[in-house]
Chains A and B, each alone.
Chain A
Amino acid sequence: MERIKALEQITSQLDDELVICNIGFPSRELYQVKDSPKHFYMMGSMGMASSIGLGTAMAQERKVIVFDGDGSLLMNLGSLVTIFNQSPPNLVLVILDNECYGSTGNQCTYSATTDLKKVAEGVGFKNTILYKESEDKIDFSPVLELEGPVFVHLKVQAGNANVPVIPLEPEEIKERFMREVQGIK
Chain B
Amino acid sequence: MDSSQAVFDGLKKAGIDFVVSVPCVNLGKLMEMVDCDPEIIHIPVTREEEGFGIAAGAYMGGKKPAILMQNSGLGNSVNVLASLFKLYQFPILMIISHRGTEGEFMGAQVPMGEATTGILDTLEIAYINPKTPADALKLIPESWLLAELAGSPLGILLEIGFW
A→B interface (CB under 8 Å): 20, 40, 42-60, 76, 78-79, 81-82, 86, 170-171, 173-174, 177-178, 181-182
Contact = CB atoms under 8 A, between A and B. Distances in A.
B88 A170 contact: yes
Contact of B49 (A20, A44, A48, A181): A48
Contacts of B43: 54, 58, 82, 86
A170 B87 contact: yes
Interface string B32-74: 0000000001011111011111111111111101000000000
B115 interface: no
Given A45-B84, A170-B87, A173-B88, A51 B62 contact: no
A44 B84 contact: yes
Nearest to B65: A55
B57 A53 contact: yes
Given A55-B53, A56-B61, A59-B62, A171 B18 contact: no
B118 to A, nearest CB: 22
Interface residues of B, number: 33
A54 B54 contact: yes
B54 A40 contact: no
A44 B88 CA distance: 9
Interface of B is mostly: helix
B79 A45 contact: yes
A20 B60 CA distance: 11
Contact of B60 (A51, A54, A59, A79): A59
15 contacts: A44-B83, A44-B87, A48-B52, A51-B52, A52-B84, A54-B43, A55-B65, A56-B60, A56-B61, A78-B45, A171-B89, A171-B151, A181-B60, A181-B62, A182-B62
Contact of A52 (B46, B54, B89): B54
Most A C-beta atoms less than 10 A away, residue of B45, B62, B63, B88: B88
B56 A52 contact: yes
B63 A59 contact: yes
A82 B82 CA distance: 23
Contacts of A178: 60
Contact of B53 (A43, A51, A177): A51
Contact of A82 (B18, B45, B60): B45
Contact of A59 (B45, B47, B61, B88): B61
Interface in B89-113: 89-90
Given A44-B87, A59-B60, A171-B89, A52 B53 contact: yes
Given A56-B58, A58-B57, A76-B50, 10 more contacts: A43-B87, A52-B60, A57-B57, A59-B41, A60-B61, A76-B47, A78-B45, A79-B50, A171-B151, A173-B88
